[in-house]
Amino acid sequence: MTVAFCPQPPLLLPAVSGAPSYALSVLRAAVLAAVQVVLEEQPEVLLVLGAGAGGVRFGPGDAGDLRALGVDLELAFAGRVRPGGRRIPLPHLLGAWLLDHCGHTGTRLGVGPDDFGTALSDLPGPVGVLAMADGSARRSAKAPGAFDPAAEPFDAAVAQALATGDAAALAALDTVEGARLLAAGVPVWRAVGAALDGLPVEAELRYAEAPFGVGYPVATWWVR
């Protein structure tokens, strides 16, 4: 199994960002490279893991949109949008766009943190994972949340765990502190850590910066 850890800023989509800045171009390149590594392993199923699923699994025909951001864009999670399809949260929408952009045409399934371990056990054959998760949104004075000096050390600990393949450290992340620091990715990271704890992991941290006041770690794990 291969896991790509990717952040979930809407700015990843050109329809939102327009002409990208240098900082955004570097971030986007790191994210796309991480996704491409997962696809190179040719998984039978690609799991898109993100918050907001509420126990629902997403598949063909489900869709989401960016109208809340002032962008008139609707994207299918897989295949074509169908009438009556479920609405997917932003992390799964961004994950679907990343997979489409990288040319993925295989089977994909969207799940939430509470369902991740069960979904893994339900799926036979090779599985790839796209874990959508942001760090603290309190990294600078211009961040979405008020600046907090504890934000950078918190994100640094996450980056260290991702860089070293330390699943136990991810599983042990403090949910209360994560919520206080507006680190939306904590439930996702904890879910991956709990599911993979004790397994041998080869890890590569590709990016760990906060160009817009939010921590955006990008990493790849190969689970042997």
The domains located in the chain, with CATH, are 2-219 (3.40.830.10)
Tens of pLDDT, residue by residue, the chain (224 residues) = 999 999 999 999 988 888 889 999 999 999 999 999 999 999 999 999 999 998 899 999 999 998 888 888 889 999 888 888 899 999 999 999 999 999 999 999 999 999 999 999 999 889 999 999 999 999 999 999 999 999 999 999 999 999 999 999 999 999 999 999 999 999 999 999 999 999 999 999 999 999 999 999 999 999 98
Residue 197: burial class (beta carbons within 10 Å; 0-12, 13-18, 19+): middle
Q: Computed over its alpha carbons, how large is the radius of gyration of the chain?
A: 16
What pLDDT, on a 0 to 100 scale, did the predictor assign at position 108?
96
- Token pair listed for 184: 């939306």
- pLDDT for the residue 96: 96
16 class by beta-carbon count within 10 Å (0-12 exposed, 13-18 middle, 19+ buried): middle
Token representation of residue 182: 């507006």
DSSP 3-state helix, strand, coil percentages of the chain (rounded to 5)? 40, 20, 40
Q: What are phi and psi of 66, to 5 degrees?
A: -115, 25
| Whole-number Å distance between alpha carbons of 67 and 132 | 20
